């Protein structure tokens, strides 16, 4: 079903608003995916805070025009699903994880903070741990010297008590 001009403008405005706040966009070809699988992908994307939409490529090109994602316009051919996220890795992770279990979804390209990504780049971005995991790792690294110092002081205090007794 074709959209009239006002519907097209509304779609471009909606997608442009998402793109304006986005850090990452991933394009994937979805030819041949069953409706049930597409519903699972949409549910997963929604739970991860990823905006996922099938769009006409001409409308998507207009939405990214004049943004750091404009370089993706050359990749916008064929039946594509657009995955847009404000989280740096969420869009890539959702699409890549789903593509591992469904060979009909083919990651085509992506863009992270204005840098073009090919399929391998999107996969590499998807393999980066989440923000929460990275923060926990950083906290562990920062805490390690302090806890080692505390253990050293406790051992020294125990040794002094042993000598005094």
Check if CATH label 3.30.70.1730 holds for domain 5-128. Answer: yes
What's the pLDDT at 127?
86
Checking if the pLDDT of 83 tops 90, the result is: yes
Checking if the pLDDT of 2 tops 80, the result is: no
What's the pLDDT at 1?
54
Q: Which of 73, 94, 92, 85 is nearest to 20 (CA)?
A: 85
What's the pLDDT at 44?
92
Across all residues in the chain, what is the average pLDDT? 87
What mean pLDDT do residues 129-137 have? 81
What's the pLDDT at 88?
83
* Angle (nearest 5°) at CA 131 between 127 and 112: 60
What's the pLDDT at 84?
92
What mean pLDDT do residues 16-22 have? 88
**Cα–Cα distance, 26 to 82 (Å, whole number):** 6
**Cα–Cα distance, 29 to 91 (Å, whole number):** 14
Read off the tokens for 78: 């064929």
**Cα–Cα distance, 119 to 121 (Å, whole number):** 5
Q: With residue 154 as reference, give the H or E element that holds it.
A: helix 131-164
147-160, pLDDT tens digit by residue? 888 888 888 888 88
């Amino acid at each position: 079903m074709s959209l009239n001009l006002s519907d097209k403008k509304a779609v471009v405005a909606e997608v442009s608003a998402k793109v304006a706040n986005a850090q990452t966009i991933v394009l994937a070809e979805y030819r041949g995916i069953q409706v049930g699988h597409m519903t699972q992908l949409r549910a997963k994307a929604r739970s991860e805070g990823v905006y996922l939409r099938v769009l006409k490529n001409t409308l998507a090109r207009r939405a990214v025009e004049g943004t750091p994602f404009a370089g993706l316009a050359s990749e916008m051919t064929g039946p594509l699903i657009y995955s847009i996220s404000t989280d740096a890795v969420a869009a890539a992770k959702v699409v890549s994880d789903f593509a591992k279990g469904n060979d009909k979804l083919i990651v085509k390209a992506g863009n992270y903070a204005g840098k073009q990504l090919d399929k391998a780049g999107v996969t590499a971005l998807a393999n980066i741990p989440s923000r929460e995991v990275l923060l926990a790792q950083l906290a562990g690294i920062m805490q390690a010297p302090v806890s080692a110092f505390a253990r050293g002081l406790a051992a020294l205090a125990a040794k002094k008590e042993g000598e005094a007794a």
